[in-house]
Structure 1
Amino acid sequence: MTQGNGTEVTEFFLLGFGVQHKFRYVLFIVFLVIYVTSVVGNIGMILLIKTDSRLHIPMYFFLQHLALVDICSTSAITSKMLQNFITKNMSISFRGCVMQLLVYGTFATSNCYLLAAMAVDRYVAICNPLHYPIVMSRRVCIYLVAGSYAMGSINVSVHTGFTFSLSFCKSNTINHFFCDFPPILALSCSNTDINIMLLAVFVGFNLMFTLLLVIFSYICIMSTILKMSSTTGRKKTFSHLTAVTVFYGTLSYMYLQPRSNNFQESMKGASICYGIVIPMLNPLIYSLRNKEVKEALKVMGKKFL
């Protein structure tokens, strides 16, 4: 990649939050606690599902992969951010920036499809329980998860290819705490109309397609679940609905809001919520309101006591 003056771009500089040096160690501790909690919680969820045979059903199969996606996506951006808080070197190599985009973008997009798959799973379980073992077979679940990862890879590969084929002559300082498409496009002196259009089309499609699946599933679920006498199904369903609402609300705000003077700063806040806080909250959302997970935790606790 070359800049407008012909010099090769070998690294970018992450501006981060632009806070004073004395506040960096405070932010480092805060985000380190969030990151460790997120990783421990999601790894714990994966191990819990693997070790307890009662959780070997489609819902928890998807939840296991959602936990894996959360670990990978938050690690892709948080580890570098934590490093920048305690070092004066805010640079990231060209290859490092590409890899960060590929990893984060792949798993962030996969997250959308996994949440949609979980909504469909809840729809079949509640609205068509007699056909549930056939419709949500092991093979179907594997296909859905594989498709989620494939869509994530295709989406981010297209954007990354088009983004890093641009020329950068304005600056190599990214006004963000990690490499993301909008702040990188803002540095280019090339025509970015195609990139912006692709970003809107791909992100819009991923959001709308998966969100429509979720909405359709929950319209059907709501009409059925209100007639249920048991509260178990309701708790499982509304746990997932809570995670979906937080996820899609933040992601829509981050990528589909109109460009304004404070767009970059507001995007940082949304990115913190979406990329760092939500991965920490998901294990709590799915465990605190889930009787089966609580019981599995009790059993695992007894084994280690």
Structure 2
Amino acid sequence: MVNYNGSLLSEADSKLTVNNRGYKYGDALFETLKVVNSKIFFWEDHYFRLMSSMRILRMDIPMNFTMEFLESEILKTLDANNLLQASARVRLNIDRGEGGKYLPSNDAKVNYNISVEPHDNPFYTIDLGAKYLVDLYKDYFVAPGLLSGLKTNNKAIQIIGSIYAKENDFENCLVLNTNKSVIEALNGNLFIVKNNKIKTPPLEDGCLKGVMRKQILELLSKDVNVSIEEASISPFELQKADELFVTNVIQGIVPITKYRKKEFRNDFAQELLKKLNAKLRLV
């Protein structure tokens, strides 16, 4: 069952049409959520990112779009799919409805829809025996700036980059902006570790304003033994790093095991993951 503007429908009966602006123009936003036993991980961060993104895209935010309302709609959808007491992946999609060309019509009305699916692991883990090979994706580049960091339905680079990765036996690829700085992975933010220094690209470079990125930065800020830097990353820095890892809300922390000829450890990532799971148990 999917939730379309509060109505629970089968997927076959969903009301999205070919005139939907999210379909026609990518005029839509989404949040990918991890929910375990009715607890939405980092829900407040997801909600405020969504509201901020809607304002940037000049969407009229409905008065009922409170944090409590959208949370109740998510839980209602999970309940309808017998996932309320399980681990689930949720997609909350917001679009501007129908009407207009590039310029929305005056009567275009914001819609929401929610879809859910089971997810195996309730907490975050690292598979120590898994390989995770990456390379640079250099066919297309992202423009620097905060607009590139919005979680919109326009994910062309992520799609063709994922196809490229599969064709070349990579688990992921790293994305460059037009300044040729490394900004993120195809499905998450990037962190590099060198000695006791942790570095991640700044939002101004065009990387996603990731919810898990925010959690990791907060955890690192409490560690007096490391220094944190949000600064542009050159491709030359990757092979000099001790560790590279990717972060997202669904997987948590994913260590990169090899980039080109350089193989990496994951000791720091393992310790950081313990702190992340501990934080979740305390919340």
Q: What TM-score bracket applies, with the shorter chain setting the length?
A: under 0.3
**TM-score normalised by length of structure 2:** 0.24
TM-score normalized by structure 1? 0.23
Hey, which of these two has a bigger chunk of strand by percent? 2
Greater relative contact order (CA < 8 Å, ≥ 6 in sequence): 1
